[in-house]
Structure 1
């Protein structure tokens, strides 16, 4: 059977879903993955908003506004540098011992780290130890997050019926969207306080409140079942002599590099749209703080329709064509977006951020979920996908706000920012011409799709 052809015989997840217990496990898995991914994106949305709005005053008060913004996003990038380490270490555990155990570890680590950020004293209280503690907790968050998002995508894709795999896998984007929505809503409430109180203590409230989401997610993760694909693979391997185990014939490097390219095209524009633009319009364009925060909230609400709709489209028309169209839209968006932001009109600024998030942070993320999982063979899927995604994040999403801040500080112009955005989206677009269609691929295959 070709890699792009649907399996004629029922696949492991299809057989599992035919039983009552299998359907019950399936829905339990969806809820537990949703809450765990919500936790991860509460973390990153909280930090992205806080970095743009208050962290410069709290942790880098002696710097100029633009340098403080750059410093805040530099600590954000540090968390992304730790993610590949977590992807390698925890990804190997997931490939050897199962997806579930890793997903329990990641949500616990991220929940504790996010809550602890809300307890860090300010620079005025403990001096340089404040930003150092912030960096340390970002590393802890990054280590856990390195295996969370990919692990959730693997678990959902391996548990979903074949014909609905794109839709089900996209639901991990609903989790990320829920986290962004929750963080934005909390921040809107915090911003009702006087500015001096926001900087003094109000910013801590969203970070401390995140422990509630983490607690529920951890409880559900501990009770969910292993994915039927991984269970089937384990049983098959256990029944074979050691020397009879099938060896993958694909090296994995091509699929790995393709995943990196797809990730750059999605993650870079995503974190520009939902992270950097918040600080940019507030600090560089002097737009009221409530405008970008409200825009992120509106986009997050729309995401509950945009994400599953995109996942459904990949089931209907294929992964590759949907992903390619979204990359084209991002390339077209780049220059007009920054040009329109210069108007400083609240409605225009808000609309630009909403559109950017809907395409680059929501739709394309929903299209990527099943696509990335299907590119890899079952034996090393968790590790390869996690590391490829996190490497792509370092080259794009994790560093994008910092690079964009540096470009702005060096040139004072929006033009390099737009060019940078278009280049990242263009990398994703070019990658789609080298990536095979994977819809319906048998997930128990040992070989990669290329």
Structure 2
């Protein structure tokens, strides 16, 4: 870089434009991740509170809840497909183009869910349409997370890539805060109004996030890492997925295993825990408010954990989160069971802002640094989405089954999550702790 004392007006202008584009990339990635979690949490909450009676009417209530969670899982099963498809074209054509497509798809699906007729109106076509939309949304989300994370990470300095990647990641709890605030407001409606139309409005309001996000994404420039890689080798050789599986099988496996515990916790608190809190006696509005406060704290602890990983190493911070998860899951459920609203909040804070953030905050950079620029979108997408499908996609079903098998107790569920933390910690420990990857 030219020293500031001898910089020309042209070089200063170019540097200023580079900084502006970097900030724009961070903001657009942040909003995209916010929209992703907003849509996810709306769907997850509706799957717990609304969909069983509106789309799966006429069956046993417990079966209806299980079927509703199956539709949630269907989207997760579709995510690896989206990760592979968008990862392929993201490595071939660029991150920006894919992110515009994924955001448009996610927003459109959310709006259509808000307009979807119920089973009482169109019969069996209603749950079929719901599952179809969820699969389309899952495909879009499969490409969104990795692309947004890479745009933030690749616009950051090498020594701050953990923090850069986490800006996109922190959009998750931001979207959760927004979703729970909106849901909380409409949950105050009389039950009949909420079930008739109130649950639809939050889905339709995603149009606002979609419009802002697309405006920013169209303006942002391509990742400098991608442009550099493309200029050094204009013609891509081979299929990115084949290259990833051939060159990085161990990295993919460790990434998937490492993601199991933090993603299970993320899904557990976003879906199952809300319904569980209501089941043990908390008011729906109180539970939503406490979850909102915990998610607001989570916005800041994710980048804080990532900053620590930039200084102390990804492995050290993520292993610490896994250890805390083994110890913290028991008091988390005990606090939710206590009957106290404020103790419930403390339980939620243990779950996401502490345990999950320590493992999840550095995760985007931890996985991304394992792959070369030419295969990074595919490698990150494939690894993360497989981990999401296995760790988060079936979390509500697993949690529901374990609690039912244990007679309503969370002992088996807590033990299961503790085991996941041990398994993920082994992956964190075995993976090479890299601050950058050579192409």
TM-score (normalizing by structure 2): 0.91
Indicate whether 1:83 and 2:101 are aligned: no
Give me the CA root mean square deviation.
2.3
Residues 334-391 of structure 1 show CA distances to partners (whole Å, capped at 9, x for unaligned) of: 2232334333333322321232121344443222121111111122111121111111
**Partner residue in 1 for 2:161:** 165
User: What is the distance in 2 between the residues matched to 1:241 and 1:206?
Assistant: 42
**Partner residue in 2 for 1:154:** 150
**Partner residue in 2 for 1:59:** 55
**Partner residue in 2 for 1:349:** 344
Asked if structure 2 preserves the Cα contact closer than 8 Å seen for 1:17 and 1:23, the reply is: no
Equivalent of 1:136 in 132, 140, 149: 132
Q: 1:141 to 1:249 in 2, by over 3 A?
A: closer
Indicate whether 1:19 and 2:8 are aligned: no
Asked if structure 1 preserves the Cα contact closer than 8 Å seen for 2:100 and 2:214, the reply is: yes
Indicate whether 1:105 and 2:101 are aligned: yes
Give the 4+ runs in structure 1 shifted more than 6 A. 15-18, 240-243, 247-250
Indicate whether 1:45 and 2:64 are aligned: no
Please give the residue correspondences for 1:334-413 in structure 2 after superposition, counting only pairs within 5 Å.
334-412=329-407, 413=409
Equivalent of 1:319 in 314, 318, 325: 314
Asked if structure 2 preserves the Cα contact closer than 8 Å seen for 1:60 and 1:68, the reply is: yes
User: What is the distance in 1 between the residues matched to 2:285 and 2:245?
Assistant: 54
User: What is the distance in 2 between the residues matched to 1:261 and 1:17?
Assistant: 45
Residues 144-171 of structure 1 show CA distances to partners (whole Å, capped at 9, x for unaligned) of: 0001001111111111011221111111
Equivalent of 2:180 in 180, 184, 204: 184
User: What is the distance in 1 between the residues matched to 2:152 and 2:236?
Assistant: 30
SS of match in other structure, 2:377: helix
Q: Which stretch has the larger CA shift, 321-330 or 331-340?
A: 331-340
User: What is the distance in 1 between the residues matched to 2:245 and 2:292?
Assistant: 46
Asked if structure 1 preserves the Cα contact closer than 8 Å seen for 2:49 and 2:275, the reply is: yes
Indicate whether 1:266 and 2:292 are aligned: no
**Partner residue in 2 for 1:5:** none
Q: 1:321 to 1:378 in 2, by over 3 A?
A: same
Q: Which stretch has the larger CA shift, 199-208 or 212-221?
A: 212-221
Shift of 1:182: 0.8
Equivalent of 1:309 in 304, 312, 317: 304
Asked if structure 2 preserves the Cα contact closer than 8 Å seen for 1:85 and 1:146, the reply is: yes
**Partner residue in 1 for 2:8:** none
Shift of 1:174: 2.1
Residues 92-150 of structure 1 show CA distances to partners (whole Å, capped at 9, x for unaligned) of: 00011111111111000000001111011122222222211110110010000001001
Asked if structure 1 preserves the Cα contact closer than 8 Å seen for 2:294 and 2:345, the reply is: no
Shift of 1:310: 1.2
Q: Which has the higher helix share?
A: 2
Shift of 1:27: 0.8
Number of aligned residue pairs: 424
Shift of 1:61: 3.0
Asked if structure 2 preserves the Cα contact closer than 8 Å seen for 1:164 and 1:315, the reply is: yes
SS of match in other structure, 1:118: helix
Q: Which stretch has the larger CA shift, 96-105 or 124-133?
A: 124-133
User: What is the distance in 2 between the residues matched to 1:132 and 1:411?
Assistant: 32
TM-score (normalizing by structure 1): 0.89
Q: Which stretch has the larger CA shift, 173-182 or 253-262?
A: 173-182
User: What is the distance in 1 between the residues matched to 2:192 and 2:102?
Assistant: 35
Indicate whether 1:234 and 2:223 are aligned: no
Asked if structure 2 preserves the Cα contact closer than 8 Å seen for 1:95 and 1:379, the reply is: yes
